[in-house]
Chain A
């Protein structure tokens, strides 16, 4: 009788410890998930900022300025354009 009781009690204790461990693990994993989600949001924001930066650098006004003034490019005179037709 006593042996059976001891057995049941030890099972109960083991199960209780298991619950504690599982809960702890769940919380740890959850906080990791939280961190990753926060990081995802941050990356999203950063992506937006990078897109913004890219379109600022690639602004046509800036490209044109650099092309004309630094690289000395100009639009071709009409007579100097050759049209190449690609046969399909």
Chain B
């Protein structure tokens, strides 16, 4: 098992320099539209108050409908949108057909989900609002972001040893 892992690492090692040699295309201009979309989303997170630590505590203590109303109405709007996109075979702005990769279930959806839920309740933020809290001047949340990066990195590091 261990030996196989090491061999696998060696194979990936030998291919990585080639990957790095690839000349990166300009990533700035094609992505400006997503920066603008992010700005809109950031404004929405404030106006919806979903980035508030207090709103998250309220949600998990079942003391307010606010968060549930937002998540449910967002899902319904998304559902109707995707239904229309599929029905009309809509294309994106690059004239490419819109395809959404299906999710592939594994046990991590349960274990990882439970762990993420715990982190959400403790920090009062999920990954989107995490960036937004920093934008509102809660600079110490940068530490939360760095920890979240460490968590993601640790998952990548021990992925093969975790049940999936």
A, B in one complex: no
